[in-house]
């Protein structure tokens, strides 16, 4: 049985091109009840170990985080899923925002590796500033305002770090984890944005395979749910953690 405090200790992992600072507003809003840590994923922010595979990223998270709740968004959700599968003893609850268990088709993975390699080369060719401008024009991020896209924070990243993150930990490199999802024993919250249909569908499939899981589709938001509709995200997260703690104490 996890200790009650294990549900008040929360570690956050960001998405591609972000850094740990992208969680600052979320952490501030959670207040003193929660002891929060935000990590720079490999190749991002001040974490210059950019040639880590997803498996190695998961090991880094499990090694670095305090025991407690793990929250990952997009790329960070894929890394967090690896950490949870390999080190469940560290994780009292898992929250995956706009995440996936991987591409199931080998051809899809091959194609994605090729496109990510091309994108990595492009980043290194044009530089971080131009690439971030292009990246934020992606329809996936249409729901972000100029303020909550955190452009200046993203510019702290390096072309080498972002390029290597795609090469070594991109979606195409991920071996599909669908057949392992049933082994997750901790409470799992899956979150997707109402306007992000692709990841809503993925989250529904994941929820059907994870035993102690629930899915919340947050309205008026797309891929970057926690930044586009922060109030609803915080309500959903704190409600989930409160119930997980209550269930743990009851058991």
Query: What is the mean predicted confidence (pLDDT) over 36-49?
Result: 97
- Spatial separation of the C-alpha atoms in residues 202 and 148, rounded to whole Å: 25
pLDDT at 1 over 60: no
| 3-state SS assignment for residue 216 | strand
- Spatial separation of the C-alpha atoms in residues 20 and 59, rounded to whole Å: 17
- pLDDT for 251 equals 64
Distances in Å between the Cα of 114 and the Cα atoms of 109, 110, 163, 167 are 9, 6, 13, 9
- Spatial separation of the C-alpha atoms in residues 45 and 157, rounded to whole Å: 5
- Spatial separation of the C-alpha atoms in residues 66 and 62, rounded to whole Å: 8
Report strand pairing: 188-193 vs 213-218.
parallel
pLDDT at 4 over 60: no
Q: ∠ CA 150-153-159 to the nearest 5 degrees?
A: 120
Residue 206: closest CA among 80, 108, 88: 80
Q: pLDDT digits over 49-84, tens only?
A: 999 999 999 999 999 999 999 999 999 999 999 999
Structural domains of the chain, with CATH: 4-250 (3.40.50.1820)
Which residues does residue 96 pair with via DSSP β-bridges, in sequence order?
Answer: 72, 190
* Average pLDDT over all residues of the chain: 95
- pLDDT for 223 equals 97
């Amino acid at each position: 049985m996890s200790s009650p405090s294990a549900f008040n200790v929360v570690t956050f992992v960001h998405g591609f091109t972000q850094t740990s600072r992208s969680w600052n507003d979320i952490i501030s809003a959670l207040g003193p009840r929660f002891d929060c840590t935000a990590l720079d994923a490999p190749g991002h922010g001040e974490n210059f170990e950019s040639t880590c595979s997803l498996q190695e990223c998961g090991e880094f998270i499990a090694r670095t985080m305090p025991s407690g709740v793990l929250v990952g968004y997009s790329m960070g959700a894929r890394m967090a899923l690896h950490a949870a599968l390999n080190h469940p003893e560290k994780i009292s609850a898992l929250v995956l925002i706009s995440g996936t268990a991987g591409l199931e088709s080998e051809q899809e993975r091959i194609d994605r590796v090729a496109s990510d390699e091309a994108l990595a080369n492009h980043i290194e060719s044009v530089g971080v500033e131009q690439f971030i401008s292009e990246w934020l024009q992606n329809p996936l991020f249409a729901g972000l305002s100029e303020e909550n896209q955190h452009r200046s924070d993203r510019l702290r990243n390096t072309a080498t770090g972002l390029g290597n993150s795609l090469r070594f930990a991109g979606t195409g490199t991920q071996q599909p984890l669908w057949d392992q999802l049933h082994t997750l024993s901790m409470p799992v919250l899956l979150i997707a944005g109402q306007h992000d249909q692709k990841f809503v569908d993925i989250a529904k499939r994941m929820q059907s395979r994870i035993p102690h899981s629930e899915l919340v589709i947050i309205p008026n938001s797309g891929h970057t749910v926690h930044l586009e509709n922060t109030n609803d995200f915080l309500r959903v997260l704190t409600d989930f953690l409160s119930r997980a703690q209550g269930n743990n104490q009851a058991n």
